[in-house]
Structure 1
Amino acid sequence: MSIGRINRTKGIALAAITSTAVVAGVIFIQGAADADPKPTLAQAKTQVAALQHKAEVAGESANDLRGQISASTARVNALKAGIAKQQTQVDTVRRQIGSLAVAGYQTSGMSTTAQLLLSPNPDQFLSQASTAQAFAGQQDSALRRYQQAQGKLTDLQASEQTELAALQAVQAQQNALTKQIQTNLDAAQKVLDKLSDTERKRIEQENADEAAEARKERPTRDSDRMDNLPVPVSGRAGTAVQTALAQLGDSYVWGADGPDSFDCSGLMMYAWGKAGVSLSHSSKAQASEGRRVSKSQLMPGDLVFYYSPISHVAMYIGNGRIVHASRPGKPVKTDPIDLMPYNTAVRPG
């Protein structure tokens, strides 16, 4: 065998060995990734809770864009209405100019002297000639009105395009946050999928039991369950507290504001809405929709905000407890006020 052929053979063999090693490495890495150690039940609960909290944070960030989207949409609609109205004015002036142009054309082919000589009634013609001068002035005035109307229409159309671009940008941000919510929820589900059937059923049963226990705390006609509050609560705050407690056991759903499912800011919006107080569907926005109160001065109905930046809101019900739509996978329930990092509080209404 020639030396060249031997070298070529060695080269082919080396390439084959290298390729095999690369493939084996990829398989090993993939296998290692797929073979992440199975978490204990406690570890899985911790990981799922963290991922669900991340989903809630993204959800409240998406909620915070609702106000911008609503305001921008209102401006776009107002501009569209203004454009339609202005277009009608432009069309009206254009028709006036057309009528004036036709009328002017009918006498433009003959000199004033010739028209006077041929007129059967010279006195009447001279009167009409004076009117014609005024008619020419009308044409100039109409042209000026048209230019002004068309200029305003162009400005309105440009403003609409600018506002539409801004609206689309905010909507794109909200869509990205919505995807982030689902990504975190999917990651939480993957953690659960690593557990055994028995472990998953145990978690499901614990969640179901927690929802059932929460529903037992709901106010009833026989007992309004307000006796355990440290101070009397009535009026709007009383209505808000009663409404929030009536939702105990309902499920957490991002973007929901009742009547059977809620996210944290949606629950506050719903409860205070029943009391006649309008709140934004955003925990960050709600933090500025009331009078600031200190933690030591909290009263039932006050809104309590958590984390920095704010990403969760609850309602104080007294005795150091809150009612809130806690996070995905959990029901509306009551908890100690210090369950999460406290930020601030406000009193709506």
Structure 2
Amino acid sequence: MRLLALLPLLVLAGCAGCEEADPSGLAGAVTVDGSSTVFPLAEAVAEEFMRDHSGVRITVGASGTGGGFDKFARGETDASNASRVVKAEELERLRASGVRFIEIPVAYDGIAVVTHPASDWVECLTTDELRRIWEPESAVETWADVRAGFPAVPIALYGPGTDSGTYDYFTEAITGEEGASRTDYTASEADNVLVQGVSGEEGSLAFFGLAYVAENPDRLKVLGVDSGDGCVVPTPQTVQSGEYAPLARVEFVYVNAAEADRNEALDAYVRFFLRMAGPLATEVGAVPLSDEAYRLATERYHSRATGSLFAGRVGTRVVDVLTTATESAALRAATR
């Protein structure tokens, strides 16, 4: 009898440290890949989600926006993170492979231009100076080539690889043509590798997502950018307002619509992402959208509205695009 009385205690002791069971009973797997810039936010959301849903396993990769879309089109992932809108050729591949997607804006980001903390001669660069540094066949080799009065210190350049949405966006905004860039720089799809390179070499210069600056405030010096209206430093406020032009942009998650209907774990993860993107964006160094933008994005996801609203748009406020789409959908429904 005494042994029977002790059984509940023995069971509890044997389960000390066990994860609490998910009362919802939700189970399954979700595979996500894509932008290294969106990765910190997507990873934070996944970790929070799995903390409450022990039966779900979410894998988040960071092969770059372009690499992520390649996997997405091949059906290897359920969702694709992107630091730019889907390209025309990517849309064609997705159509050809039968992947219908829901495009969800989740945050803003600024592409930060950074240098080594010891580079005390520079605080701000103009977009023209950035163009001369990064354009194909650039003759800029030292800081003295950039501006009179700068020292003849060699510029060691670091930047994202060609599969990166950050690379695509930066080259289009600065050199005037997507993918048009000098090639003699150290490239990596892993932004932490770029941080390590810049922080270890005086005279270095790089560009990458603002989130990685927030994680390494003492290892990097953030430069302002002057596009003609004065120098602007990237901050959550200047990115959200669009003042940090032309290097403020939108971050997206593209969700396979058919998988969202079939995979309950994926559907729950996306819904959770839309609820938590705002507060978690602030924690990881991204810039949250407005509450209204998240509300409209959530409506778009719930209605399973597929296709791209943002393709071909640069610098447009998210809430404006979503509002216009909602009004157009309501008008079409009213006239049927």
Q: Same fold (TM over 0.5)?
A: no
Structure of higher RCO (CA pairs closer than 8 Å, 6+ residues apart): 2
Structure showing greater radius of gyration is 1
TM-score (norm 2): 0.24
Higher strand share: 2
Higher helix share: 1
